Structure 1
Amino acid sequence: MNLIEAVDFLKKNQPLPDDRVLETNSEILEKYNEVRKYFLENPNPICIPLFINSFGNGSGFGIYQLIEDVLLKYSPEQVILHLIKGLNSEKYGIRYWSSQIASSFPDKKLIEPLAKLLTDKAADIRYAVIVALAEIDDKRVLDLIKNAQKQEEDTEVIELIEEVMGNLEI
């Protein structure tokens, strides 16, 4: 594996197929994991937007969670703008995983794109957004979460909001 092969694979998989396709084609996941390992050992910021836009629908059978380790090799300044684009993506998988990763890059620049996702139709995205917002040290966060609580119907998200609000109000 070299830089050209790794970048080429990621460019051709924007995003990766859904889990039901990956389930029958383990070669794609194996190659994706090789690419992940390559960039862990050979950091290059060219991979940041490519990884953020690689998330298909589903879990990637555990590999998507590991992409955060690659992104943590880079400064927030290198990652944030790409995360903002991921949070604004029309593709569910990219929005979901960008929401998950956002909690590791708490930055005020993420407040607005995260706030937009507080009304996303997917409860798991709203859940991840609450977690990410709670990591950002800004007085606007508490108001955003309080407003989200008024509209939220999912019991798990409501429980998380109550927990987060208790911690933020301390």
Structure 2
Amino acid sequence: MNKNQALSILKKYAPIPDDDDLTEEMIDEYASAIEYFEEHPHVSCIEPIMMTFSIDNCYGIYDHAVDVLRNLTNDQVIPHLVEAIQSKHEGKRYWGTEIAQFFPDERLLDPLSIMY
């Protein structure tokens, strides 16, 4: 797999279906893209990863997606977190809020304060 293939898979699952609607094939395909970016972190994966989040946890694969994001810098991730936190999509808001704990930054204060 290369970066373009991994990005294509992430874009295919934006957002990923709820856990009850996932097939083993879908889970494996999504996991393979996340694994690629675990091994080859790149800024181009931030937005596609953020777009995949649903309210569920994708059978634990989202934890790996969060690890991918944690390997990137605040300046790379924060703008996407702000967007996710302010999203109308519940899953993106939830995961954006969860991920924010790993990126302490004043730019997140206002969006997070609106959440509560």
TM-score above 0.5: yes
Runs of 4+ in 1 over 2 A off after TM superposition: none
Letter in 2 for 1:61: Y
CA RMSD of aligned residues (A): 0.9
Q: Deviations over 1:50-87 (max 9, x none)?
A: 11111122111111122111001111000000000010
- Provide the residue aligned with 2:37 in structure 1: 39
The one-letter code matched in structure 2 to 1:96 is Y
Q: Which has the larger radius of gyration?
A: 1
Query: d(CA) in 2 for partners of 1:59 and 1:13?
Result: 14
TM-score of the superposition, structure 2-length normalised? 0.95
Tell me if structure 2 keeps the 8 A contact 1:14–1:54: yes
Q: Is the 8 A contact 1:17 1:57 kept in 2?
A: no
Verify the 8 A CA contact 1:19 1:58 in the aligned structure 2.
Answer: yes
Partners of 2:13 and 2:52 within 8 A in 1: yes
Matches within 5 A, 1:69-80: 69-80=67-78
Note the residue ranges of structure 1 that are not aligned, 5 or more in a row: 119-170
In the alignment, is residue 102 of structure 1 matched against residue 108 of structure 2?
A: no
How many residue pairs get aligned? The number is: 116
3-state SS of the aligned residue for 1:70? helix
Calculate the TM-score normalised by the size of structure 1.
0.66
Q: Percent of counterpart pairs with the same letter? A: 38
